[in-house]
Amino acid sequence: MSDYPYAGRFPVQRRLPDQGRPREELLAELAAMAAEEDAFWETGKCSGTMYCGDHDHYAFLARAFERFAHVNALQRDLCPSATKFEGEIVAMALDLFHGGPGAVGLVTTGGTGSILHAVLAYREHAADRLGGRRPNVIKPETAHPAFDKACHLFGVELRRAPIDPVTTRVDLDWVADHIDDATVALIGSACNYGYGTVDPIAELGSLALERGVGLHVDGCLGGFILPFGEELGYGVAPFDFRVPGVTSISADTHKYGYAFKGTSTVLFADKALRDAQYFFLTDWSGGKYCSPGMEGSRSGGLLAATWASMVSLGRAGYRRYAAEIFSVAAAMQDAVRSHEELRVLGDPTFLFSFTSEAFDVYHVNDFLRDRGWRLNGQQYPNAVHMAVTRPQTQPGVAEAWAADLAGAVAYAREHAGSTPKSGAIYGGVAGGMTDEADAFIKAVMADLLDRQSGLPPEPAAP
C-alpha cells in the first residue's frame, strides 16, 4: 500500500496542468479532504494543535482573512490597515502582559519566528559590548527546541540548564553558576511544552537583574491562557512584565490566541532591544530595502484574522474559554492521579504530563491510541502529555478520558513485560530516532521529507 495520501481517490498532479481544472471540482476535493481530517480531532481526543476547534470562529476568521489575503504587509503605502492591525495586536498583547510605557513588539510568523527574533535581538544588542566574543544564552532543558535552533542559526552558544526531576522547573543554582560576561539572556518558560509547568520567573528575574543580563519568557504556549488562569484563581504566578527583570516575552496568537496558524507576537520591555534587529540594505540597485524583522513579504490576511480573533473574543471571551479548559484539565489530571501506577510530573496547568514507575507508560499510550486518542510522547523519563484545548471541553470528553485511561492502565499492567509500539515523537512526525549518529538521523529526516513532499510512483505505461 502506498503511503501517499489520497492516491487513487483524486488525480495526482505530476506537472502543471495545461488547462486549469474547474474550480468546483477542486473545491469538492478540498472539502472531502478537510472533512475527513477534521473528523479526527473533532472527537476531542487530540492533544493540542486545534486550540479553538470551533468552525464558526474559523469561518469568521476566514472572512477577515479573505479581505486582505492578497495584500503584502511589507508595502504599507498600499495597506495602511496592516499598520492598524499590527499596532493593535501588539498593543493588546502588551496590555495583557502589563508592558510598561517603553514596551514595544512585533508580529511574527509563529513561535519559532518570535524566538528567533528575540535571540537575534539579544545578540545584536550586546554586539558592541562583546566586541567579537561569542554570546551565550542559558535555557532550561525543557525550553523549546526553537531556542536551540535560533542559537544554531545565529552562532550563539546555548547552555542547557538541568531541571529538578520532581518539580520539572529549572535549577536556579546551575543557572547562576553558568552566567558569565558573555551571557546575553536567560530563558524561562510559561509554560513549557513538555510538562505544562512554569519556571520560577520571579527568581530568574532577580538573577537577571543582579547579573545584568536579559530574561526572555517563552509564553508561546501559555501566553494567551495563563493570564486568565491567574484571574480565575488557578494559582498561576505572574510571569510577565510585572516581574522585575523580564525583558522580552514570546506569545503565540496561533495557539491560545485562537487565530490562524502563522502568527505570534514577540514583545520587548525596551525599544532598544527591538531596534537591534532591523535589517537594511540602502545601496541595492533594486532600491533601498529595509525590513523590520526577518520576514520579507507577509500576508495582510493573517494580520486581519489575528486582529479579528482578539477583538471579537475580548477579555471576557478568553476568560470563558480559559475557565472551561482549566476545569477540564483539572478533571483529566484527577483521573490520572486516581491511578497509583501513574505519576503527574510537577505542578502543571492546562497541559499535563504523566509517567509511570510500574510499567512503560507507552503501553498506556498504545491502548489510548487504539481508542482514538492522540497524545504526545516524551522521553527521559518516558512520559505522555495532553495539552487541553477547546475540543476537550465538549460534553463527555473528560468522562471518556477517565474510562479509557482505566482500560489503558489495565492493559499496561498486562503488557508490562513487552515492548510498547509508540514512542517519543514531537508532533507525530518522525520515528526511530534516539541517540543515533547524526548521519542516521539525517537519513531518517531525508526519507521523511521525501515522503512528505514526494509523489507516488508513476503508473506503468499501458
Ligand X SMILES: *Cc1c(COP(=O)(O)O)cnc(C)c1O
Binding of ligand X by 110 (CB under 6 A)? yes
Binding of ligand X by 199 (CB under 6 A)? no
Binding of ligand X by 306 (CB under 6 A)? no
Complex with ligand X: residue 144 or 339, whichever CB lies closer: 144
The only residue of 116, 221, 267, 345 in contact with ligand X, by rule CB under 6 A: 221
Binding of ligand X by 111 (CB under 6 A)? yes
Binding of ligand X by 263 (CB under 6 A)? no
How many amino acids of this chain bind ligand X (CB under 6 A)?
A: 12
Binding of ligand X by 146 (CB under 6 A)? yes
Strand pairing of 136-140 and 157-161? parallel
Angle (deg, nearest 10), helices 300-337 and 397-414 = 60
Candidate segments 93-101, 188-196, 282-290, 403-411, binder of ligand X by CB under 6 A: 188-196
Complex with ligand X: residue 250 or 356, whichever CB lies closer: 250
Binding of ligand X by 365 (CB under 6 A)? no
Nearest to 142 by CA among 162, 117, 114, 121: 162
Binding of ligand X by 220 (CB under 6 A)? yes
Contact set for ligand X, span 268-297 (CB under 6 A)? none
The only residue of 125, 144, 169, 343 in contact with ligand X, by rule CB under 6 A: 144
Binding of ligand X by 192 (CB under 6 A)? yes
Nearest to 157 by CA among 128, 179, 174: 179
Q: Minimum distance from CB of 403 to ligand X (Å)?
A: 29
From CA 257, how far away is CA 52, in angstroms rounded?
9
The residue with its CB nearest to ligand X is 111
Q: Minimum distance from CB of 153 to ligand X (Å)?
A: 14
Q: Minimum distance from CB of 40 to ligand X (Å)?
A: 20
Binding of ligand X by 218 (CB under 6 A)? yes
Nearest to 336 by CA among 424, 413, 405: 405
Residue 85 CB contacts under 8 Å (≥ 6 apart), including other chains: 300, 303, 304, 306, 307
Beta bridge partners of 299: 72
From CA 49, how far away is CA 402, in angstroms rounded?
21
Binding of ligand X by 140 (CB under 6 A)? no
Is residue 281 a contact partner of residue 291, using CB atoms and an 8 Å limit?
A: no
Binding of ligand X by 112 (CB under 6 A)? yes
Residue 261 CB contacts under 8 Å (≥ 6 apart), including other chains: 110, 254
- Please, what's the b/e burial string for 170-200 (b: 16 or more CB within 10 A of its CB; e: otherwise)? bebebbbeebeebbbbbbbbbbbbbbbbbbb
Residues in the chain: 462
Q: Minimum distance from CB of 221 to ligand X (Å)?
A: 3
Contact set for ligand X, span 383-442 (CB under 6 A)? none
Q: Minimum distance from CB of 118 to ligand X (Å)?
A: 11
Q: Minimum distance from CB of 115 to ligand X (Å)?
A: 6
Q: Minimum distance from CB of 142 to ligand X (Å)?
A: 9
Complex with ligand X: residue 161 or 221, whichever CB lies closer: 221
Q: Minimum distance from CB of 149 to ligand X (Å)?
A: 9
Nearest to 184 by CA among 117, 118, 137: 137
**Can you tell me which residue has the cell 547579573?**
211
Residue 306 CB contacts under 8 Å (≥ 6 apart), including other chains: 85, 89, 107, 253, 254, 257, 259, 260, 263
Complex with ligand X: residue 112 or 356, whichever CB lies closer: 112
Long-range contacts of 270-274 (CB under 8 A, 24+ apart): 270/102, 270/103, 271/102, 271/104, 272/125, 273/121, 273/122, 273/125, 273/214, 273/247, 273/248, 274/104, 274/105, 274/106, 274/121
Q: Minimum distance from CB of 144 to ligand X (Å)?
A: 3
From CA 89, how far away is CA 101, in angstroms rounded?
16
Candidate segments 68-76, 109-117, 154-162, 164-172, binder of ligand X by CB under 6 A: 109-117
The only residue of 51, 58, 122, 193 in contact with ligand X, by rule CB under 6 A: 193
From CA 383, how far away is CA 340, in angstroms rounded?
15
Candidate segments 108-116, 167-175, 333-341, 391-399, binder of ligand X by CB under 6 A: 108-116
Strand, helix or coil for residue 218: strand
CB atoms within 10 A of CB 34: 10
Complex with ligand X: residue 223 or 420, whichever CB lies closer: 223
Binding of ligand X by 198 (CB under 6 A)? no
Q: Between 225 and 254, how does the x/- string for binding to ligand X read (CB under 6 A)?
A: ---------------------------x--
Complex with ligand X: residue 249 or 409, whichever CB lies closer: 249
Strand, helix or coil for residue 110: coil
Binding-site ranges for ligand X (CB under 6 A): 110-112, 144, 146, 189, 192-193, 218, 220-221, 252
